[in-house]
Structure 1
Amino acid sequence: MDNRKEKLLTMVIESYIKNAEPIGSKFLVSFGDLDFSEATVRNELRALEEEGFLTHPHTSAGRIPTEKGYRYYVDQLNLEKSHISKNDYKTLTDSLSEDIDYELSIKNLAKAAVELSNETVIIAFSAEKVYYTGLSNLFHKSEFGDLAVVANISHVFDNCEDYVEDLFAKVEDSPRYFIGSENPFDEMLSVVSARFGKEGMIALLGPKRMDYKYNFGLIKKLLEIM
């Protein structure tokens, strides 16, 4: 992909992550500080759609990223440089207490991560012992407003252990993203996950338009603390 297309794809994805609204050429020209015309932007967006990186809802002339688009975007990010602020790190460490047992401490850490990311966190102490928190965050996102979608996601979490076992087989010690159909939970979700301890796993779940940079940095800090 050439630099111009990559720049436009990045702008569309990062704008969509922030606003959850289809992105049109006028918006990109108005706010993107571009050195080429709106007609050029339209042509490039059309090309990105033809190549499978973008699509557009029937009700809108704007574009939204596809799974292929998100995967390309994530693969271009220097995720190892992702980080969270000192205040966010303090929120994580303040959730810990020396006078409670290990599992409860990890659960409190997961709740703090939910508060910071506005996503859902799953902790698997083993493939059979699973805890999750922040599910309501998913249902407050615009992608999950449809009743059938809510029912499907709820079914996934009702059978969470089965899905966690599938993910467990793919997860490594270092954080890794599973976007859309790459994860066993649901193709509407993205997941960043890693192992911890002897047989533990942590996973952060959200819509495909999640904040990939921040969430990767958050998972890295969680692993350091855990």
Structure 2
Amino acid sequence: MVDFDQKLSALLDVVIDNYINKGEPVGSKFLHSLEDAEYAPSTLRKYLNLLEKAGMVYQPYNSSGRVPTVQWLTTYIENYLVAQEEEKQDEVIKVRSGLKELVESIWALADGVVVGFVRNDEYYYLWINNLLRDDMVDEYHTTRSIIRFIEEKRVVKFIDSKILKKNQIYYTFIEDQKILISCLYTKITIEDYDCMLCIIGPTRVNYKKNLAIFQKILQSLDK
């Protein structure tokens, strides 16, 4: 059952919404005329008086209606921003989940480390495959540099600094302590959020294979 404070809070939101839309004081008669009105005019007048005594609304001298105070307009905006942020967090969690699934779906195919992250996000996902093959044991230091480059999020900072077009594949070679690291990357969109996919490895990787993987992904996402 909805408690009394929740009823007043809900009514205050209705008063503020309609004041913003109408640009004039909001009275009990108008509130009662709304389609979703739950209370009789007398109850609405009582509630409006309580809101006024609490300093949430005031009554202009030339009107029987009420106008929200600046203090409660500020609270209204802050509450709305909090709700928007919570909704955004739910969206981001959904996007992270979709990106993680995408990274997991290609890690076994790629030649190198697959990294995925939402731009300007604190999280990233990676899967390592065939980074240290039998014929690359002598490149152990390169492997360590690649792992460090990812774990320290330098790859994230590097790509976040770039202006990139959607659905275009880029590549670069990055020098880290005199060791060259290859990086193939592309920008994709998941639920309207910009995300990055990267395949990172030494200079000896199957570039054609990795390019084909990205091309297939971009084609599937473009449908």
TM-score by length of 1: 0.45
- Higher RCO structure, 1 or 2 (CA under 8 Å, sep 6+): 1
Higher strand content, 1 or 2: 2
Between Structure 1 and Structure 2, whose CA radius of gyration is higher?
A: 2
